[in-house]
Chain A
Amino acid sequence: MSGPEAAGAKLPTPAWDGEMLVRAEHVKKYFPIRKGILQREVARVHAVDDVSLEVRTGETLGLVGESGCGKSTLARCIARLYDLTSGSITFEGRDISRLSRRQLRPVRRELQMVFQDPYASLNPRKRVGTIISDPLRIHNYGDRTKIKNRVRELLELVGLSPEHVNRYPHEFSGGQRQRIGVARAIALHPKLIIADEPVSALDVSIRAQVINLLDDLQDELALTYVFIAHDLGVVRHISDRIAVMYLGKIVEVSPAEELYKHPVHPYTEALLSAVPLPDPDISAKRERIVLEGDVPSPVAPPPGCRFHPRCRYATEVCRLEEPPLVQHGSGSHLAACHHPLDLPEPSAAPRTAAASP
């Protein structure tokens, strides 16, 4: 997909089997907190703390967690909108974590973002046509007619009328604006789209429209998604695999259905049980795990397992030792817990007596 203009920055690509589109290894992103006249660094927000993760070509990876868990920061690290504190991001077999802005340009064609707030992410002073064609112009897509045709094509693709090119963002509803954001993101035929809470600001009936749109586009354009949301229902609907984050760490990664049926990490279990179900009978019957307290501050995360202060299974070891992310059950189900919850296969995971719910 790299055009001739990208040739200058292109490095020899090492052996890349095409299966792993993105590989994040030991990614850390700390934000300094500065104080005083000298702006000395007094503390650090551990937004993303040693996260390793893979995104396979063609899949949708869901990233869930509560606000402040670092999911957006991780996504922005992958898109290189932030510089990493340490660790590496490999995109299509190539390490992009130390590239300069100029070197990143060809990568940006392949890797686009859709943002949460369709009111803030579109320039109110630009016409829709300009908003969508900006990336095309920046990346020398072609002459004016070619760009114009592509914009019309894109508008149709996302379900807007091509006549809308000359309108301004304020003339559109929230759902339509999000469609414009999607059109802009897919303009350059990217491989990966990172969608950061793309439907959270939308009403329920509109939300379903946009989710269906993203679904269709994935099939038509062979896209890979990293989909961030705090709505677990939405994430389960759209994702093939899901990673659960808590306080800067990934605590569980699993194929979507398996995560919902057999969560291994107590935090995942609590998170799932907290989702209100739109069915009065099921809602009344089920057992709810209400977590005590709030998420601790990422400035000074608790030692050991970061979830232990709120965990109902926590024991001494959880306070002292940080659990590694290890395999449970099927090969692709990973979790970081000293007291993993029951899995269907009895011999699948090492268990402690305290862990049986």
Chain B
Amino acid sequence: MAEPLLEVRDLKVSFRTEDGTVKAVDGVSLEVAEGETLGIVGESGSGKSVTMMSVMRLINDPNMRVEGEVFYRGHDLMKLTQEQIRAIRGPGIAMIFQDPMTSLNPVYKIGWQISEQIRAHEKISAKAAHARAVELLRAVGIPHAQERVDDYPHQFSGGMRQRVMIAMAVSCNPDLLIADEPTTALDVTIQAQILELIKKLRDDYGTSVVLITHDMGVVADIADRVAVMYAGRIVEQGSLRSVFYDAEHPYTWGLLGSIARLDRPRPPRLTAIKGTPPSLIHLPQGCAFGPRCPYRFDLCTEVPSLENRLGNGHLDACHLDPERKRDLRETAIHPELAGRGQPELTEESR
């Protein structure tokens, strides 16, 4: 593989609080190649947002401690000055946030907010920047862009606001777009529109994308590679197909099993994961998923490392024997199919 666009090495982020130290991110390493889309999946508190926010150096908390290295085109982002990192945000790496209402300034017109960003990075007249803003709004599919550019954020619907966020993010042609739950606050039909838009921009400009989400369906739709996070660590990482069809970690099985799916016959019960995610202050000994894992055994008191156990590039952090996992997997995800022999293929759902 060629030099990755973004490389995170052993990133650790912790916050000092009154109750103790919160280990939000605990040794995350990942890479994003040129033109690739990486999906990061995990539940709230798994550290997926903190990881990418730290990469962008967007968290300014005196109680925060960050260790590790983040290379973007050879620069270690952790060592840059504020001014240098600001030059990278925008044309280098841009970010879209979950809540488009709180990430737009309510007292400025949409067009002003977009052109401000362009003018911060390029020597360009206000008029030209404004024209670019109109063009961008048109590109992200906002009807009557010419007039809407002078509207305020509250005059836009949720989906429209997210389009504006995307327009701002791509205004400087970034190499890498980080989208943090870009569709979580939106309805499914609007979600479909936004995902199509991100795909189109990615394909048109060859932008790399990191998409953070808790929705396995969104990942399946858009990602090339997937990293699954749990309690501040990556527990599984591999190609889209290998994570969905040959998942190696019981947590991923649990995630896949607990979704009420439209593409399969309705099971009598969902396979819920027992218990709740651990406190990030008092992480359990050994594997963080251990206390919730139905396949826990002696070895699980040691922290499993994220490694390639099968020699196929697929990484997982689970002590279970790969042979055993192959037997367990299908039953773990779809217990209703167990014992039925050949699992019947589902009727194609529309």
Contacts and interface: CB of A to CB of B under 8 A. Distances in A.
Interface of A: 66-67, 173, 175-176, 203-209, 211-212, 215, 230-234, 236-238, 256-257, 260-261, 263, 269-283, 286-288, 290-291, 293-295
Contact of B240 (A66, A234, A280): A280
A175 B220 contact: no
Interface of B: 43-44, 143, 157-160, 187-193, 195-196, 214-221, 240-241, 244-245, 254-263, 266-267, 269-274, 276-277, 347-350
B276 A278 contact: no
A277 B263 contact: yes
B82 to A, nearest CB: 35
A294 B160 contact: yes
Contacts of A234: 260
Given A274-B188, A276-B195, A208 B347 contact: no
B161 to A, nearest CB: 11
A237 B43 contact: no
B235 to A, nearest CB: 13
Nearest to A286: B350
A204 B216 CA distance: 10
A212 B350 contact: no
B262 A280 contact: no
Contact of B272 (A205, A238, A290): A205
Contact of B220 (A66, A176, A230, A276): A276
Nearest to B226: A280
Contacts of B43: 203-206
20 contacts: A66-B189, A66-B190, A176-B276, A203-B44, A208-B258, A208-B260, A211-B272, A212-B269, A215-B269, A230-B188, A237-B266, A238-B260, A274-B189, A276-B188, A277-B262, A277-B263, A279-B244, A280-B220, A290-B196, A291-B192
Given A208-B273, A209-B272, A278 B192 contact: no
Given A275-B217, A278-B216, A293-B143, A232 B188 contact: yes
Contacts of B347: 261
B257 to A, nearest CB: 8
Contacts of B259: 204, 208, 233, 278
Given A274-B192, A278-B256, A286-B348, 18 more contacts: A66-B189, A66-B190, A67-B187, A204-B258, A208-B260, A208-B273, A209-B272, A212-B272, A215-B269, A230-B187, A230-B188, A237-B260, A260-B262, A272-B262, A272-B350, A277-B221, A278-B263, A282-B349
